[in-house]
């Protein structure tokens, strides 16, 4: 799964720490999501999308598997 969280953070001038505080998770969790080491729960994905005022589909994209 690809994500554009780092792009949205840049647009909104937020650090990983800022985002983590806004949604109630650790900065390490945000880092892991951005590096595709952790797939967030539906609730967490919705919180991130709401923070940036975008749809979940704008943040996350399933990659085609061969």
Q: Are the beta carbons of 4 and 11 closer than 8 angstroms? A: no
Residue 40 DSSP symbol: P
Burial class (CB in 10 A: 0-12, 13-18, 19+), 55: exposed
Tokens, residue 5: 């969280």
Distance CA 66, CA 57 (A): 21
- pTM exceeding 0.85: yes
* Domains annotated on the chain, with CATH: 2-58 (1.10.260.40)
Tokens, residue 56: 């979940």
| Residue 30: strand, helix, or coil | helix
- pLDDT tens digits for 7-56? 999 999 999 999 999 999 999 999 999 999 999 999 999 999 999 999 99
């Amino acid at each position: 799964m690809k994500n554009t969280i780092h792009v949205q953070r840049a647009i909104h001038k937020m650090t990983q720490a800022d985002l983590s505080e806004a949604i109630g998770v650790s900065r390490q969790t945000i880092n892991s999501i951005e590096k595709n080491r952790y797939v967030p729960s539906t609730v967490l994905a919705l919180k991130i999308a709401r923070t940036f005022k975008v749809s979940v589909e704008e943040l996350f994209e399933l990659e085609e598997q061969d």
